Structure 1
Amino acid sequence: QWPITYGGQSASERNYAYIPSAGNIWDAAKRKGLTYRSYGEYAARVSDGTTFDNSPNAPGLAGHVAPHYKRMGARDTANAAEFIREFDEYEKNYESKDPNKRLPNFMVMALSENHTNGTRPGSYTPVAMVASNDLAVGLIVERISHSKYWPETAIFIIEDDAQDGPDHVDAHRTAGLVISPYVKREKVDSTMYSTSSMLRTMELLLGLPPMSQYDAAATPMYLTFGDKADATPYNHLEAQVDLNAKNTARAWGARESKKMDFDDVDRNAPFVLNEIIWRSVKGADSRMPLPVHSYQFK
């Protein structure tokens, strides 16, 4: 998928060639008889005003998508509230013998505000949208960690397309979070993991086999976990910035942002949007650092 878009082709030019032959992790979960649910990931709707209960690019998610969780066009805090509403029902059914009434074994969630709307006039500022994303994560972790499901839960969080956001640190890195009673508290694990490492760790916890050579060869995140549980729950921190701050027509990049398509993620030129976000946060006169390439091939 991404080599196609990196080549300059638009989302409309993508095709089914990039769908993995072994399916996705939820397909592997289905083969093992596990329950699963998607909150926003690969979710789609037939038309404006309808629920997000379709998944044309991920057939395995059909019937497993949270319909009132909005993939795009909603605050992440609102989506967190929708997830918590469903989670409350799962906790009421904690003792149920029906696996479809209990918390699914595997869940995938997209919190999309981190992508921002650039500096499009009238849209929330990049700082406000990222802060909403942070608060949503805090609210979700707080609710789960205060529940009966907490002792047997692991939450993995990673940025979308983290390889495409250069700053003062190598663009081939990102922050990855793992949250669980069995995770070592207040520890930074600097092992050279990859996104496949995170996927492989999930597979091991769920008892799933690797789906390709990439996750089979990936380093599991063993050092992140300990052998003793600390079930102390988390409490969220309130945002320290104005979540309702909006861009003005005078913001740097406002004119370019008005031309961009924010109806879905990854529809705009990454470098252009990255620079708009950078200057919005660091100042209009600040220069975004360029990627440094160690090797050049001709």
Structure 2
Amino acid sequence: MALNDVQHFFVLMLENRSFDHIFGLSGISGISATTGQRVGVDGLIGKRFFVKNRSGELVQIDRNINRALNRLTRDIPHELGDVKRQLCGPSHHGPYSDRNITMDGFIADRDGTDPTMEDAVRCVGPGHLRVLTSLAKEFVICDRWFSSMPGPTFPNRMFAHAATSGGIADSPSHGQIALRTIDGYDFRNGHIFGRLRQKRIPWAIFVHDRVENMSVLLDGISAFGAEMKEFSQFAWELQKRPFLPRYVFIEPRYDAILGDFSRGNSMHPISDMMNAEALVKDVYEAIRASPHVWQRSALIVVFDEHGGFFDHVPPPAAPAPGDGSANGAFDFKRLGPRVPAVIISPLIPKNRVDSTVYDHTSILKTLALRFGLAHLTERDASANALEHLFTLSSARRDTPETLPDPLAPRPRSRSVPEMAVGAGHLGAPVGPFVLAAAAVNAELKGPDAWGSIKDEVRSLDGRSQDDVADYVTRVRSDASLTVGATAPRATPIRGVDFGGMGDVSMFAARIEGFTPRDEVEGRHVEAWRLGISQAELRAIEALRGEGEQGRHEDGTRVAQAGGDQETSEAREEVG
């Protein structure tokens, strides 16, 4: 099976665009990945659609869909309540179900006199996104990839890592920011990086900013760990022989705090689309320029959620994660709107269109099949994997070495407003990044400072954008001094062995000492030092109590504590 020939999986997750917004007018066609027939993508060409404004009046959008702006001056609402109105209509207040989904409420959050109300239903014209379009035509475009839930960036990115959002359906509130500052998001069954770590399968996260990224919010992930790398080193790392990471997740530059997303390259609507085009080009060309990696690789370029932009395909039902998490506003039994996704690999035939239903947990399902991992939740257990796409026994020789240059950025016609901060809460779009900054600050200052860090985060609630920016800038400055410092080896608590990882510290040297009050507290503090997640620690503690072997809550085996055996996957020669 060609999937077993893939040695390196790369995921670049961009932001806030729907499938119709990006590819609805592209006119892309290709060979169906499932039927072998010539098909076109399920887009907007030749179709007419009507949506309802806040007053319930019908607005025809087919005359405007080819006038998407290169950048917007404000975000389009896309929290859970907003998305339910977008999918079910402006007067919808009931459940999110097949019977209620009409896909006609995408301007329901806009006043009928608002001159920018059509932003949500405008779509990118053909030829505007040269890089993404070239990749979609050369490899596989997926026209049934849905976001994992009908909401914003934060919960959808958590689904991509953990097959659950832990019950979170909106951007984190200030209360959640304060509570989660220190502990990270402790998903009951852990996340993909913890699973790979347990199997001793190398992985890496490349970031543009160690502070403004969401990966550091995962329990057990350190902003200064060996697996957290600067994107500026991406091309250089790929030239190493062997290139060790088997799974690489790439975080774009968000520029959420200081620039209100305006200078980022995540494809956030307030940033220039061409910045993201340039990032995709850089990622592809760096991998392509490393033959020992490229010939056995797969790159997935996907968007975290639709960002409030129009899409005409109703999201299907999906199983809830079943991990014990709950949210009174949503049961997690339905996917969110379609998002763009392109699968890139020399082990895939040229010019394919795949209409298989996917969501972000399909990435986890594919990794599980490839590396022999157990599923994290019921969502990824039932997700469709990408394995059927990898049908070539040897790498194609006709893949492009370079991609077209992005179009030149267009000048701004309107100024970007300040971050929306209402009385009593941090702005929803930047809340996760304040949380991330607090988590990094906790790493820098150590356990003795946890209380004061939480208090400082709470005090930011309702403050000005400048105050929030000052806090994040201060943390970033402290973090920059720490990067590159040599971390001392952690000394395990007497009699405690953390699964063979007791001699590796993922944290930098500025962590302060902490004297535990008892052995249990000592284990948790040492785990915090080592970057071991709470889910992993529970498994290790269960193993200590059961003997040489134990099982996770989901039934998967854990390795013998203190063992140093590597799996065949980790020993397999790379390159």
Q: Provide closer, same or farther for how the CA distance between residues 218 and 242 of structure 1 changes in structure 2, counting only shifts above 3 A.
A: same
Q: 2:202, 2:431 → 1: CA distance?
A: 27
> Of the candidates 275, 279, 282, which is equivalent to residue 139 of structure 1?
282
Q: 2:413, 2:169 → 1: CA distance?
A: 28
Q: 2:195, 2:262 → 1: CA distance?
A: 43
> Of the candidates 84, 91, 111, which is equivalent to residue 235 of structure 2?
84
Q: Provide closer, same or farther for how the CA distance between residues 33 and 264 of structure 1 changes in structure 2, counting only shifts above 3 A.
A: same
Matched to 2:337, the amino acid is: H
Aligned partners of 2:362 and 2:383 also within 8 Å: yes
How far apart are residue 187 of structure 1 and its match?
A: 0.9
For residues 105-116 of structure 1, the aligned pairs below 5 Å read: 105-113=246-254
Tell me what 1:58 maps to: 219
Aligned partners of 1:117 and 1:262 also within 8 Å: no
Tell me what 1:73 maps to: none
Alignment of 1:177 onto 2:342: yes
User: What is the number of equivalent residue pairs in this alignment?
Assistant: 233
Q: Structure 1: which 5+ residue stretches go unaligned? A: 46-51, 70-78, 95-101, 268-298
Q: % of aligned pairs identical?
A: 17
Tell me what 2:168 maps to: 4
> Of the candidates 191, 195, 202, which is equivalent to residue 24 of structure 1?
191
Q: Provide closer, same or farther for how the CA distance between residues 258 and 19 of structure 1 changes in structure 2, counting only shifts above 3 A.
A: closer
For residues 205-284 of structure 1, the aligned pairs below 5 Å read: 205-228=370-393, 229-234=395-400, 235-242=402-409, 245=411, 248-249=414-415, 254=417
How far apart are residue 55 of structure 1 and its match?
A: 3.7
Aligned partners of 2:299 and 2:345 also within 8 Å: yes
Q: 1:154, 1:195 → 2: CA distance?
A: 15
Q: 2:216, 2:261 → 1: CA distance?
A: 31
What's the Cα RMSD here? 3.9
Alignment of 1:39 onto 2:206: yes
Q: Provide closer, same or farther for how the CA distance between residues 8 and 37 of structure 1 changes in structure 2, counting only shifts above 3 A.
A: closer
Q: Which has the larger radius of gyration?
A: 2
Aligned partners of 1:37 and 1:106 also within 8 Å: yes
Tell me what 2:59 maps to: none
Aligned partners of 1:158 and 1:175 also within 8 Å: yes
Q: Structure 2: which 5+ residue stretches go unaligned? A: 1-154, 156-164, 314-335, 435-575
Q: 1:121, 1:201 → 2: CA distance?
A: 32
Q: Provide closer, same or farther for how the CA distance between residues 108 and 24 of structure 1 changes in structure 2, counting only shifts above 3 A.
A: same
Q: Deviations over 1:160-189 (max 9, x none)?
A: 2x1543314345211122111112321110
Aligned partners of 1:200 and 1:218 also within 8 Å: yes
Tell me what 2:299 maps to: 155
Matched to 1:141, the amino acid is: Y
Matched to 1:32, the amino acid is: K
Q: Provide closer, same or farther for how the CA distance between residues 131 and 169 of structure 1 changes in structure 2, counting only shifts above 3 A.
A: farther
Q: Provide closer, same or farther for how the CA distance between residues 7 and 118 of structure 1 changes in structure 2, counting only shifts above 3 A.
A: closer
How far apart are residue 9 of structure 1 and its match?
A: 2.2
Q: Deviations over 1:93-135 (max 9, x none)?
A: 33xxxxxxx331111111144x878996985794753321121
Q: Deviations over 1:13-67 (max 9, x none)?
A: 563595322221111111112111111299548xxxxxx9x94633155623435
Matched to 1:22, the amino acid is: N
TM-score normalized with structure 2 length = 0.35
Q: 1:191, 1:173 → 2: CA distance?
A: 12
SS in 1 for 2:312: coil
Q: Provide closer, same or farther for how the CA distance between residues 132 and 17 of structure 1 changes in structure 2, counting only shifts above 3 A.
A: closer
Q: 2:344, 2:359 → 1: CA distance?
A: 17
Q: Provide closer, same or farther for how the CA distance between residues 264 and 232 of structure 1 changes in structure 2, counting only shifts above 3 A.
A: farther
SS in 2 for 1:167: coil
Q: Provide closer, same or farther for how the CA distance between residues 22 and 122 of structure 1 changes in structure 2, counting only shifts above 3 A.
A: closer
Q: 2:307, 2:269 → 1: CA distance?
A: 17
Q: 2:418, 2:221 → 1: CA distance?
A: 40
Aligned partners of 2:300 and 2:344 also within 8 Å: yes
> Of the candidates 330, 335, 353, which is equivalent to residue 188 of structure 1?
353
Q: 1:248, 1:36 → 2: CA distance?
A: 42
Relative contact order (alpha carbons < 8 A, sep ≥ 6): 1 or 2 greater? 2
How far apart are residue 226 of structure 1 and its match?
A: 1.6
